[in-house]
Structure 1
Amino acid sequence: MIEVCPVCGNSDLYYEVGGYAGKVYHCKECGYMGAFVVEGNEEMVEKIREKYTREKEKGKE
């Protein structure tokens, strides 16, 4: 299982803050910041990445 960004599927995350309030992750790819990350296998991660790419391309039109 891999922890990835729920927006773009990137695994390059780092802790922005942590402690009593919990962890807040920051994605280096899309800039997402939040406590929620997805823990999934390669198939799930690929689906997240495909969706992100489709939405990103759709936004350019």
Structure 2
Amino acid sequence: MPKTVRLCPKCRSAKLHLLTNVSGWLAPQKFECKECGYHGSFFVEVDIDELKKMKEEKEKK
């Protein structure tokens, strides 16, 4: 099973912090990005290998 990482949809940082401390089906998970301050329940989940490729391509530019 491939390992994945959650990314902020706004700045693509992996520094997401879980805001909700109640787990269960009544409380949706909300995250806060420590880089840009994004708050929300939407995040991007990518394979670690894909993240490495994205970083390499960004460095080439």
The correspondence of residues 1-61 of structure 1 with structure 2, limited to 5 A, is: 1-19=4-22, 20-40=26-46, 41-42=50-51, 43=53, 46=55
- The structure where helix makes up a greater share of residues is 1
RMSD, aligned α-carbons:
1.8
Task: Give the gaps of 5 or more residues in structure 1.
Answer: 51-61
Count of residue correspondences:
46
Which portions of structure 1, spanning 4 or more consecutive aligned residues, are displaced by more than 6 angstroms? none
Task: Give the gaps of 5 or more residues in structure 2.
Answer: none
TM-score by length of 1: 0.62
| Residue 27 (structure 1) shift | 0.2
